[in-house]
Every structure is written in C-alpha cells, then in structure tokens.
A and B are shown apart, each in its own frame.
Chain A
Amino acid sequence: MAVIAEPVATKSVSRLRFILDRRDVLGAIFVSPAILYVLLLVGLPFLLAVYYSLSAYTIYDPTWRFVGLANFRQILNNPVFLETLGNTFLFTFGSQLLGLVLGKFGALLLLSPFPGRKIVRALIILPWAVPIALATVAWQWMFDSLYSVINWTMIALGLIERSDAPNWLGNPHLAMLCVIVVNAWRFFPFAIVIFLAGITAVPQDVIDAATVDGAGFWRRNYQIILPMILPIVAVGLIFGIVFTFTDLSIVFLLTNGGPVNATSVLGFQGFQVGILSGDISHGAAISLFMLPVLLVVVVVMLRFIRRREI
C-alpha cells in the first residue's frame, strides 16, 4: 500500500517545489501582494482624483459629468486660492529654512562627545518622534490668547505690557509665524539626525588630509564635508518639503486656516472644500496643485538615490 501511495505524494511535492524553485516565479509571487495593494489604494485613487478634478462631481450630485478644465479655471480666479498657494510656499520654505539652520547648529553641538550627550539626543529627538497632532495641541495651549506661557514670561521679564501682549493665533502675521515655527520645531530634529548621519559617514582620513593641506574649520565644513554629505541632506530635505508642502494637521489644529485664511494651505483648503463642503471636484483640483512640486521633488530624489556614494 505504502509503496503505491508514495510516488503520487512525491510527484505533487516536486511539482510544488518546481514552482517554488524558479526564481522569477517565486519573485513575482512574493512581490505581487505589495504591488497590488499599492496599485489599488494609491494608483487607482490617484487616477480617480484626476478624474474628479475634471468633472462636476459633488456628494450631492454624483453625476461624473465631464467639465474639462473648468474647475481649475474657477479655482485660479479665486483670490482665496491664490493666497493659499502663496501661504503654502511661505509655510514650506520658511519652516524648512528655519529647520535646516537649527538642524545644522544642533548637529554641530551633538557631534563632539560631552557628558549626558545620549540624554540630550533623546530629548532633542522628541518633536519629531511624538505624533505631531499631539505636540501641536501643546503649542496651541502655549499660544493661548489669555494664558499663554510665552506672554507670561515676556511680561514677567518686563519686555511687554499685559495690555499689548500679542494674540499669537489671532493676528494674521503672527499666526503664520506660529505655524512656521511649530513645523520647523517638528522637523529640525530630523535635520539634526540626517546631518549627523552624513557627517559621521565622512571618512576621518579625508578630513585629516584636508587639515594637513591647510584647510581651516570653515573650508573643511563647506568645501569638504558639505559636498560629501549633500546627497543624504538632499534626501532628508526632500522628505521635509514633501511632508510640509502637503501637510494639513498643524494648520488644522493650530489656526484652522485662520484668521481669515491667513494660514490656509493647499492641503487644508482641499480638505475644507472637498470634505467639509462636499465639493469633491473642486477639492480634488485644489489638491492636484501639489502635483507639479511633488514631481520636481521626485525627479531630484531619483537623481540623488542613484548618485549616493558614502
């Protein structure tokens, strides 16, 4: 009995093994679930977003009527949208610049060993690690119109009078400053970590050789180290730009786009129009204005990923 049953079993096993032993087949089987997931829930929605933006689709009138570029034309004629577009660039580049400067200085400090460096690093990483929505509400409370701890300190130090204490989130210019500062605060620990990772990867003998050849501190920093760590810094900066340019949570929680649209950014306005007002086609069109910036960023990113050396 056993003798008869045996060959059948080995045959089915060997057929299975045959399939599992072919590299290309197994590779395709392994990678397909991930690709399928991404195609269905990133690729398909993206195409849908493009179609929405070209249609007259709202949650009250789901007709899918094709209207061409009418939505985009209407949006571009809306002064609030133009303000939003400007705000988005100001928000992105202001906070990235501030974050990079803070990050570079922080990295210089953390580079040399000193007692308690590990603890300091752990504390400095906090803003980036902790969910930004939670940290943002702490900032919102710090910027409170009446009980702001920042105002209290300035009054206690005699810098300002209680009567003219700033209303951080109520003044259009200050509100913009606040969202930029909170976002820079959130990103600069990431910048520190990226700078540190880059600098420690530069071989010490390169730096020594430069020193022997007479390169001073600034020359070493900007003509030797900076060019070498540029690919890593660029990747970090790209992350920062993408996630800031498309962010919604800081503005939503801190200022709710206000006062009077002064801090409205693309992601926020897309949410307001598309989700809250239910005007999906215009919301999608607003969100799609992010695309040109994202495409530029992706192209730059691809070049740097290919070129990485250290």
Chain B
Amino acid sequence: MTRFIKNAFGDVSFFGAVAFFVILTAFPFYWMVITSLKENSDLYSVENIPFWFNEAPTLEHYRYLFEQTMFVRWLINSLVIGVCVVAITLLTAVPAGYSLARLGGRKGEALGIGIFLTYLVPPTLLFLPLSRIVAELGLQNSMWSLVLVYPTFTIPFCTWLLMGFFKALPREIEEAAIVDGCSLFGAFIKMAIPLSLPAILTVVIFTFTLTLQEFVYALTFVSSTAQKPITLGVTTDLVRGDIFFWGEIMAGALLASIPVAIAYNLFLDRFISGITGGAVK
C-alpha cells in the first residue's frame, strides 16, 4: 500500500515536472495563437480572462496582416534570400567539406577546425565594417546585402557538418569507382554526392532556418519596409509610433515560426551530431 502511494506520488511529481517544462516552453506560442485570434476589444481589457476567448474568435488580424501590410512581400523576400544563400552555401561547402574530409589529410582537419571557428565570430563584431562594405558595393538597404553576408556563417557551419558526414562515408566506394575508370572528380560527382544526399538535405534545411533566424545583419543593413525579411518585418514594422499591433504581430510571428519549428524537429538529431563535431554516434 505504502509502495503504491509512493509510486503514485512519484508519478504525480514526475508528470508535474514534465508539465512545468512543457508550459514553460510552449506557453509563449500558445500566447501567440490566442492573441492572434482575439478581437481587439477582448485583448485590451484588464478584466477579461486572458487565457481563453471572452468574445467570439476572429481572423481579422490575419486578414489585416495579408491585406494591409507587406507581410506577403516579407515572406517572398525571406524565401528568395533563403534559396540564394542555400545555393551559394551548397556550391562552396559541399566541395570544401569533401576536400577537408578526404583530400587534405591531417592538414585538412586543422583547416576544417579553422573554418568552423569563424562561425564563432559574432555578427555584432563584424556588422560595422560589413555595413561599410555593403555600402561600397551599392547594396545598402537591399535584401541582396543579406544574400551576400549570410553565407559568412552558413559556409563555416555547413562545411563542418558535411566534413563529418563525408568522413563517415566509406572510402572504398569511391576507390572502386576510380578502379572502374572514374576520375577523382567523377568519383565525387557520381558516388560521393548521391550517397550523401541525406546530409546535403540536412544542410539545405539548416541553412534555410539559419537565414530565417538571423536578425542582427538584417536590422543593420535593411531599413526600408519592402526589402525586409520576415523576421525583421514582423518584429519592427508592425509598430506605429508607440502603438503595437499585438494581434497582427502575434499572427505574423506564429506564421513565420511554424515551418522552422517543424524543420528543426525533423532534423534535430543530425544537427546535434554535427554541432558536437561528430562526437556522438
């Protein structure tokens, strides 16, 4: 009997602790959902219960977001930036990762760590000189400045990830292709790339989410509404003077968060094994 009570008590405190963590992490997102669906009169009242609808839910904030703001434009901007940065990153990081894993030997490892360390050089250290470089190139206040600058952190990160993946690929496969008459380059194109497609897909997803998460460079380089990526637009452009359009801000934040959240959950394990330097198998 006491044992039963002890077990039951243990279960209650265990699930209580789990509930605490889930509420802690998920509540702000629940808050986005409920805010975005409420009437303004419902939102801005200190008497109403904030956790649920006191008036009928409405899609008014979403309608406003799509029709009266540049939300769709920001979405397209982010998409274009993401696709371009993914292309640049793949073209540079795939060969670099392969080269560092296969062709460079011990020097390759050292060079790989060197490239990875540049990932740790923070935007807040580089944004001043980069803003001058961007201005010199005539890209100030344009989303193309972000296409130019974002690869500075996606290339180091993805080169490191891919280096780990290529190292795990058995060398014998390419050697067999070379024996069969392939050049080294041919073995890379015909054997290594097709076999590492899952890794390349991971890199594509993470490059894309990294561009969506970036805030500092966007804030520094882009100030006109029509050129903003979605994260910057939602957080800085839905405020008129001192008035925050909370319904619209939360609706926009929610719509921009969902794809990133899903992508992360699908690719989390690969990401972790990459970030810990392939330390976890």
Interface residues of A, Cβ cutoff 8 Å to B: 17, 20-24, 26-31, 33-35, 37-38, 41-46, 48-49, 52, 102, 105-106, 109, 114, 120, 122-139, 141-142, 146-147, 149, 152, 162, 185, 189, 193-194, 197-198, 200-201, 231-232, 235-236, 238-239, 242-243, 245-249, 252-253, 266-267, 270-271, 274-275, 280, 283-284, 287-288, 290-291, 294, 297-298, 301-302, 305, 308, 310
Identify the 6 closest CB pairs spanning chains A and B, nearest first.
A27-B103, A246-B122, A129-B264, A267-B124, A30-B99, A48-B129
Assess A232 versus B279: contact at CB under 8 Å? Given A21-B184, A34-B155, A138-B32: yes
**Which residues of chain A are within 8 angstroms of B249 by Cβ–Cβ distance?**
137, 141
| 13 intermolecular pairs with C-beta atoms under 8 Å apart | A34-B93, A48-B133, A52-B128, A130-B257, A136-B235, A137-B250, A141-B246, A147-B50, A152-B50, A197-B280, A248-B123, A275-B131, A280-B132
The minimal Cβ–Cβ distance linking A189 to chain B, given in whole angstroms, is 7
Whether A266 and B183, one on each chain, are in contact in the complex, defined by CB atoms closer than 8 angstroms, is no
Q: Which residue of A lies closest to B254 (CB)?
A: A134
**B26 an interface residue at 8 Å Cβ cutoff?**
yes
**Which residues of chain B are within 8 angstroms of A106 by Cβ–Cβ distance?**
21
Whether A266 and B124, one on each chain, are in contact in the complex, defined by CB atoms closer than 8 angstroms, is yes
The minimal Cβ–Cβ distance linking A122 to chain B, given in whole angstroms, is 5
A-B contact count, CB below 8 Å? 284
Contact of A246 among B43, B123, B268 (CB under 8 A): B123
Assess A185 versus B50: contact at CB under 8 Å? Given A30-B96, A41-B149: no
Whether B25 and A242, one on each chain, are in contact in the complex, defined by CB atoms closer than 8 angstroms, is no
**Which residues of chain B are within 8 angstroms of A37 by Cβ–Cβ distance?**
92, 151-152, 155
Whether B275 and A134, one on each chain, are in contact in the complex, defined by CB atoms closer than 8 angstroms, is no
The minimal Cβ–Cβ distance linking A295 to chain B, given in whole angstroms, is 10
A287 to B122, CA, bound (A): 10
A204 to B268, CA, bound (A): 23
Q: Could you tell me which residues of chain B, from 205 to 248, have a CB within 8 Å of some CB in chain A?
A: 209, 212-213, 215-216, 219-220, 231-232, 234-235, 244, 246
Whether A138 and B232, one on each chain, are in contact in the complex, defined by CB atoms closer than 8 angstroms, is no
A232 to B256, CA, bound (A): 31
**Which residues of chain A are within 8 angstroms of B184 by Cβ–Cβ distance?**
20-23, 26
The minimal Cβ–Cβ distance linking A26 to chain B, given in whole angstroms, is 5
Whether A109 and B14, one on each chain, are in contact in the complex, defined by CB atoms closer than 8 angstroms, is yes
Assess A46 versus B126: contact at CB under 8 Å? Given A130-B261, A133-B232: yes
**Among B1-9, B61-69, B110-118, B196-204, the stretch in contact with A:** B110-118
A160 to B7, CA, bound (A): 36
**Which residues of chain A are within 8 angstroms of B276 by Cβ–Cβ distance?**
194, 197, 232, 235-236, 308
- Per the CB 8 Å criterion, the residue count for chain B at the interface is 93
Whether A141 and B35, one on each chain, are in contact in the complex, defined by CB atoms closer than 8 angstroms, is yes
The minimal Cβ–Cβ distance linking B10 to chain A, given in whole angstroms, is 11
Whether A189 and B25, one on each chain, are in contact in the complex, defined by CB atoms closer than 8 angstroms, is yes
Q: Which residue of A lies closest to B219 (CB)?
A: A252
The minimal Cβ–Cβ distance linking A231 to chain B, given in whole angstroms, is 7
As a 0/1 sequence over residues 251 to 279 of chain B, the CB contacts with chain A under 8 angstroms (1 = contact) are: 00100110011011100100011011101
**Which residues of chain B are within 8 angstroms of A290 by Cβ–Cβ distance?**
122, 124-125
**Which residues of chain B are within 8 angstroms of A280 by Cβ–Cβ distance?**
128, 132
**Which residues of chain A are within 8 angstroms of B103 by Cβ–Cβ distance?**
23-24, 26-27, 30
Q: Which residue of A lies closest to B28 (CB)?
A: A138
Whether B121 and A46, one on each chain, are in contact in the complex, defined by CB atoms closer than 8 angstroms, is yes
The minimal Cβ–Cβ distance linking B123 to chain A, given in whole angstroms, is 7
Q: A23-B184, A127-B25, A271-B127 are in contact. List 6 more A-B contacts (CB 8 A).
A: A21-B185, A34-B93, A52-B129, A236-B275, A301-B117, A305-B277
**Which residues of chain B are within 8 angstroms of A137 by Cβ–Cβ distance?**
234-235, 249-250, 253
Q: Which residue of A lies closest to B221 (CB)?
A: A275
**Which residues of chain B are within 8 angstroms of A242 by Cβ–Cβ distance?**
120, 122
A27 to B18, CA, bound (A): 50
Q: Which residue of B lies closest to A242 (CB)?
A: B120
The minimal Cβ–Cβ distance linking B22 to chain A, given in whole angstroms, is 5
A308 to B278, CA, bound (A): 10
The minimal Cβ–Cβ distance linking A287 to chain B, given in whole angstroms, is 5
**Which residues of chain A are within 8 angstroms of B122 by Cβ–Cβ distance?**
242-243, 245-246, 267, 290, 294
Assess A31 versus B99: contact at CB under 8 Å? Given A48-B132, A142-B28, A290-B125: yes
Residue from B50, B51, B148 with most neighbouring chain A CB atoms (10 Å): B50
Q: Which residue of A lies closest to B210 (CB)?
A: A131
**Which residues of chain A are within 8 angstroms of B148 by Cβ–Cβ distance?**
41
Whether A310 and B279, one on each chain, are in contact in the complex, defined by CB atoms closer than 8 angstroms, is yes
Contact of B31 among A41, A142, A246, A305 (CB under 8 A): A142
Residue from A30, A132, A149, A152 with most neighbouring chain B CB atoms (10 Å): A30
Contact of A193 among B22, B117, B257, B268 (CB under 8 A): B268
**Which residues of chain B are within 8 angstroms of A124 by Cβ–Cβ distance?**
21-22, 25
Assess A27 versus B99: contact at CB under 8 Å? Given A105-B17, A305-B113, A310-B279: yes
Q: Which residue of A lies closest to B212 (CB)?
A: A131
A125 to B281, CA, bound (A): 21
**Which residues of chain A are within 8 angstroms of B149 by Cβ–Cβ distance?**
41
The minimal Cβ–Cβ distance linking B36 to chain A, given in whole angstroms, is 10
